[in-house]
Amino acid sequence: MYDYWFTQFDFPDNNGKPYKASGGSMVYSETAKRDIPMGWKTESVFSNSLTSIIKPGVDVFSTKTYLATAEVNGTSISSGSIIEYETRESRANMQPTEYSVWFAKMKNSVKHLYLNPEMTSLINNSILSTGFCGLQCTESSFEYIASFIEHSYFETIKDTLAHGATQEAVNNDDLSGIALIIPSNPVLNLYHERTKAIYAQISNNICENQRLTALRDWLLPMLMNGQATIAD
């Protein structure tokens, strides 16, 4: 759906027909290096009207789960490690928030977190690594930004811009080089309405997988040392 609406630009027009295929007006964007629908804008991932970069810093806490970039693979999340505020490592310094989208800054590292209300438990009980970059979205822009980050275009450009002597990665300035097309509000809101249930289900599945993984990790040692058995 993202490709159809925002790459081919065949989102529903005012008559419910595919916009570009039905002759919708297009204008050339120098920033995006392509035609985009009339009235749309092109900004950047670093500076745009839909999101803001989440800065390092966390609220004081007793204990929370720390998710390093190694704890995320694609959109799958492992159990992480328990940390305390005073003794946490310096990289444990990013605060997850509702309606935020996160990606790993390292090159060739596809690690994404989409934190909608269905991820409230993770938001309230976790701290993220500074190896992640977070984009604070609005409720209506969340699914569009998540779809943009998930698209292969983003990771390809991110890897092209990555640099560094030991660990190649992007910084905030590099994100200015990643074009982000800003749709009209009606199209953005329609995309939100049509995809929010999909992303809600994705988040529910991720949380369920986390619970099952934790149960497996607790049960397996007990089975192996005979503390638990499987009944016929």
User: What does the pLDDT look like over 83-131, one tens digit per residue?
Assistant: 999 999 999 999 999 999 999 999 999 999 999 999 999 999 999 999 9
Q: What confidence tier does 227 reach under pLDDT thresholds 50, 70, 90? A: confident
Q: What confidence tier does 231 reach under pLDDT thresholds 50, 70, 90? A: low
Q: What confidence tier does 66 reach under pLDDT thresholds 50, 70, 90? A: very high
For residue 218, pLDDT over 80 is answered with: no
Strand (E) positions, the chain? Answer: 26-29, 34-37, 41-44, 51-53, 63-67, 72-73, 76-77, 81-84, 92-94, 100-104, 112-115, 126-129, 132-137, 179-182
Q: What is the pLDDT of residues 76-86, one digit of tens each?
A: 898 889 999 99
Quote the CA–CA distance of 28 and 34 in Å, as a whole number.
Answer: 6
- How long, in residues, is the chain? 232
Cβ burial 2-12 (10 Å sphere, 16+ → b, else e): eeebbeebbbe
The answer to whether 158 and 67 are in contact (CB under 8 A) is: no
Q: What is the pLDDT of residues 16-63, one digit of tens each?
A: 999 999 999 999 999 999 999 999 999 999 999 999 999 999 999 999
Q: What is the mean pLDDT of residues 69-82?
A: 91
pLDDT for residue 217: 73
Strand-pair partners of 111: 74
Backbone angles phi, psi at 60, to 5 degrees: -65, 135
Q: What type of residue sits at position 135?
A: L
For residue 180, pLDDT over 80 is answered with: yes
The structural domains of the chain, with segments of one domain joined by +, span 51-211
Quote the CA–CA distance of 159 and 169 in Å, as a whole number.
Answer: 8
Percent of the residues in the chain that have a pLDDT greater than 70, as a whole number: 96
Quote the CA–CA distance of 184 and 188 in Å, as a whole number.
Answer: 6
pLDDT for residue 159: 96
Strand-pair partners of 76: 73
Least confident of 45-59, 89-103, 133-147, 210-224: 210-224
3-state secondary structure of 143: helix
CATH assignment of 51-211?
3.90.220.20
pLDDT for residue 230: 66
**What is the average pLDDT score of the chain?**
93
Quote the CA–CA distance of 136 and 98 in Å, as a whole number.
Answer: 8
Quote the CA–CA distance of 200 and 92 in Å, as a whole number.
Answer: 27
pLDDT for residue 175: 96
Quote the CA–CA distance of 79 and 190 in Å, as a whole number.
Answer: 35
Which residue blocks in 72-225 are alpha helix, DSSP H? 120-125, 142-150, 152-161, 185-224
For residue 224, pLDDT over 90 is answered with: no
